[in-house]
């Protein structure tokens, strides 16, 4: 993979150091020159932290570091203190499904949870599902996303050449939905996407009750076995007696939890088929080699 895309995706610095990046490579120019990557440029604190660790790596490898790099590095060091210092340090991350159009997401990359919420970053399962959907016909007029977090699955649907008429992004967490709303604006898809608070297991009330959604999507929403019955209850409400389907991407952290999900689906008369088990999200999206596989399920009413 070209280093540019992991850089714009702001992958963890320690993961970047697994590659031998040469002082003369293109990404080093972008690293210290804020304007060079335009709107997609990572924030100063990320660029500085990567530059610092690269210098240490180059010194260890006995490489000659160009004078110009040191000058820019010093300037970057001085400026990096001026990044905002919010409780959750957010930044704009760019995910490239195609080379032309990134999906841009305001998020806290690498943050696992904040105030008990897990939706402040995009998880690998979402990236895998975005890639899976990109290669296929969507064939849906109305799309609903469950546990949307940053919302990039729904937003990616709205960015297609032939988008659905409506994409509704739902989550239980109002703060997460507020960030998702900013992502909708950032990607300029407010004509198609709306946000809606929704907790799994709750009855479907207006505007989620009618007409039915053709496609329901969700990623990394099966991690808590105590919530799985509620989630499956929602799937049952959304799919029952309909000619529609859900595509749910589940990170395979714990096989027992996936078994709970499969059993719960069977118990609620939902057919649950494994479409793919993979960690691949396309050549331009970086996913750590350490990340668990993702299982994509298709779920329909029996």
Q: Which is nearer to ligand SAM, 115 or 241 (CB)?
A: 115
Q: Binding string, 223-242, against ligand SAM, x = CB under 6 A?
A: ----x--x------------
C-alpha radius of gyration, the chain, whole number: 21
Q: Which of 143, 158, 208, 219 lies at the binding interface for ligand SAM (CB under 6 A)?
A: 219
Q: Which is nearer to ligand SAM, 3 or 200 (CB)?
A: 200
**What are the CA-CA distances from residue 125 to residues 175, 180, 240, 264, 277 (Å)?**
21, 17, 25, 20, 11
Q: How far is the CB of 175 from ligand SAM (least distance, A)?
A: 9
Helix or strand run (H / E) with residue 302: none
Place of tokens 């808590």: 224
- Size of site (CB under 6 A) for ligand SAM: 22
d(CA 242, CA 301): 7
Q: Which of 123, 261, 286, 297 lies at the binding interface for ligand SAM (CB under 6 A)?
A: 123
Q: Which is nearer to ligand SAM, 13 or 172 (CB)?
A: 172
| Angle, helices 44-61/67-79, rounded to nearest 10 degrees | 140
CB atoms within 10 A of CB 230: 14
Q: Which is nearer to ligand SAM, 51 or 216 (CB)?
A: 216
Q: Which is nearer to ligand SAM, 148 or 270 (CB)?
A: 148
Nearest to 130 by CA among 139, 120, 122, 118: 122
Which residue's beta carbon is nearest to the bound ligand SAM? 119
**What are the CA-CA distances from residue 96 to residues 61, 105, 183, 190, 302 (Å)?**
31, 11, 15, 20, 36
Three-state SS sequence of 213-252: CCEEEEECCCCCCCCHHHHHHHHHHHHCCCCCEEEEEEEC
Binders in 128-157 for ligand SAM, by CB under 6 A = 147-150
Q: How far is the CB of 173 from ligand SAM (least distance, A)?
A: 4
Do the Cβ atoms of 222 and 248 come closer than 8 Å?
yes
Q: Which of 65, 106, 111, 172 lies at the binding interface for ligand SAM (CB under 6 A)?
A: 172
Q: Binding string, 173-212, against ligand SAM, x = CB under 6 A?
A: x--x----------------------xx------------
Q: Which is nearer to ligand SAM, 30 or 145 (CB)?
A: 145
Rounded to whole angstroms, the maximal C-alpha distance in the chain is 68
- Residues in contact with ligand SAM by CB under 6 A are 117-119, 122-123, 125-126, 147-150, 171-173, 176, 199-200, 219-221, 227, 230
């Amino acid at each position: 993979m070209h280093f540019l895309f992991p850089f714009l995706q702001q992958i963890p610095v320690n993961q970047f150091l697994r590659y031998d990046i040469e002082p003369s490579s293109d990404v080093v120019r972008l690293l210290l020159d804020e304007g060079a990557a335009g709107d997609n440029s990572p924030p100063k604190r990320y660029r500085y932290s990567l530059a610092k660790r690269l210098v240490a790596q180059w010194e260890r490898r006995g490489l000659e570091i160009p004078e110009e790099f040191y000058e820019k590095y010093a300037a970057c060091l001085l400026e990096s203190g001026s990044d905002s210092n919010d409780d959750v340090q957010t930044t704009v991350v760019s995910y490239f499904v195609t080379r032309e159009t990134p999906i841009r997401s305001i998020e806290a990359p690498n943050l696992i949870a904040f105030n008990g919420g897990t939706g402040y970053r995009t998880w690998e399962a979402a990236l895998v599902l975005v890639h899976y959907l990109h290669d296929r016909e969507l064939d849906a007029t109305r799309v609903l996303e469950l546990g949307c977090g940053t919302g990039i699955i729904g937003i990616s649907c709205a960015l297609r050449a032939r988008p659905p008429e409506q994409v509704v992004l739902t989550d239980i967490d109002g703060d997460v939905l507020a960030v998702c709303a900013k992502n909708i604006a950032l990607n300029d898809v407010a004509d198609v996407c709306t946000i809606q608070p929704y907790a799994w297991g709750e009855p479907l009330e207006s505007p989620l009750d009618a007409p039915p959604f053709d496609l329901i999507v969700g990623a990394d929403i099966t991690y808590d076995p105590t919530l799985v019955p509620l989630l499956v209850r929602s799937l049952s409400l959304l799919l029952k007696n309909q000619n529609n389907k859900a595509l749910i991407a589940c990170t395979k952290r714990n096989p027992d939890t996936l078994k709970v999900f499969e059993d719960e689906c069977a118990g609620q008369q939902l057919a649950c088929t494994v479409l793919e088990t993979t960690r691949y999200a396309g050549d331009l999206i970086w996913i750590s080699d350490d990340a668990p596989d993702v299982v994509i399920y298709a779920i329909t009413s029996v």
